[in-house]
């Protein structure tokens, strides 16, 4: 069974080490650390974690803003925000970033591990907070009424790597061939392709290329050939 890859992003080295030590006892979790004084987004690009654990009190780039950027550029990475003391206002801001959960930094190891697994499985434990926070629930309803209708068809910008991969797809390369060209794993290519399809609301690889060409995401000078479907690779 593949392990769930979780990355801890927090400026407090002792906190990162403590979380890593606790979570490393879970056999189904692989734990990575990230000092946000480095470029956190670049490290996420390089490692593509399944779950990112963000301290909300980051000084270099707030956890709220970083959560928003991860959701925009890396939708396959689920975000769990860890706050010293999450109040109604902060919880509302976290919800707006599309984070999967918001926990107190005082949460137990078992609670954190369980939340990581749930987020990885596509659940949003953060929604349960609305049942005990009526003020937050009211704010969410007021803020997001009709948002789904408004956002239909809006495509998030592709990362530099995703644009590169989509160009190779347009030139007729399979996931395996692209992995060989870029000297990265085929699984990493699969993850990128999945993110590309989601961002462009594309049905398949060919549809993604057509949308990207039309919208200017990739150059029309790419030598477009028959695009392999790679059904078993996405």
CATH architecture of 153-234: Orthogonal Bundle (1.10)
Q: What is the CA radius of gyration of the chain?
A: 19
Domain ranges of the chain: 4-149, 153-234
Residue reference for tokens 């998030």: 156
Q: For 20-40, what is each residue's pLDDT tens digit?
A: 999 999 999 999 998 877 788
Up-side HSE of residue 42: CA atoms within 13 Å toward CB? 5
Q: For the segment 45-88, what is each residue's pLDDT rounded down to a tens digit?
A: 989 999 999 987 775 567 788 888 898 889 899 999 998 888 88
Three-class SS state of 12: coil
Task: Please write the tens of the pLDDT for every residue from 158-177.
Answer: 888 998 998 888 888 889 99
Residue position matching structure tokens 């902060």: 90
pTM assigned to the model: 0.64
Residue in 193, 209, 187, 210 with CA at minimum distance from that of residue 159: 193
> Which CATH architecture group holds 4-149?
3-Layer(aba) Sandwich (3.40)
Closest-CA residue to 65 (of 81, 45, 86): 81
């Amino acid at each position: 069974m593949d392990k769930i890859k979780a990355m801890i992003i927090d400026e407090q080295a002792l906190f990162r080490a403590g979380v890593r030590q606790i979570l490393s006892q879970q056999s189904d979790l692989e734990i990575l650390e990230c000092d946000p004084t480095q470029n956190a987004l670049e490290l996420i690009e390089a490692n593509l974690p399944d779950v990112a654990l963000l301290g909300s009190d980051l000084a270099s780039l707030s956890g709220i803003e970083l959560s928003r950027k991860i959701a925009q550029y890396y939708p396959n990475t689920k975000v769990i925000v860890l706050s010293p003391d999450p109040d109604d206002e902060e919880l509302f801001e976290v919800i707006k970033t599309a984070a999967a959960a918001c926990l107190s930094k005082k949460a137990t190891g078992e609670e954190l591990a369980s939340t990581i697994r749930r987020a990885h499985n596509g659940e949003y434990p953060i929604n349960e907070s609305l049942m005990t926070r009526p003020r937050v629930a009211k704010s969410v309803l007021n803020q997001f009424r009709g948002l789904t209708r408004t956002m239909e068809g809006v495509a998030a910008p592709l990362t530099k790597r995703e644009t590169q991969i989509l160009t190779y797809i347009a030139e007729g390369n399979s996931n395996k061939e692209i992995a060989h060209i870029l000297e990265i794993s085929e699984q990493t290519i699969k993850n990128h392709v999945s993110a590309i399809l989601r961002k462009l609301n594309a049905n398949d690889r060919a549809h993604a290329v057509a949308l990207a060409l039309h919208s200017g995401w990739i150059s029309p000078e790419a030598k477009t050939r028959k695009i392999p479907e790679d059904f078993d690779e996405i």
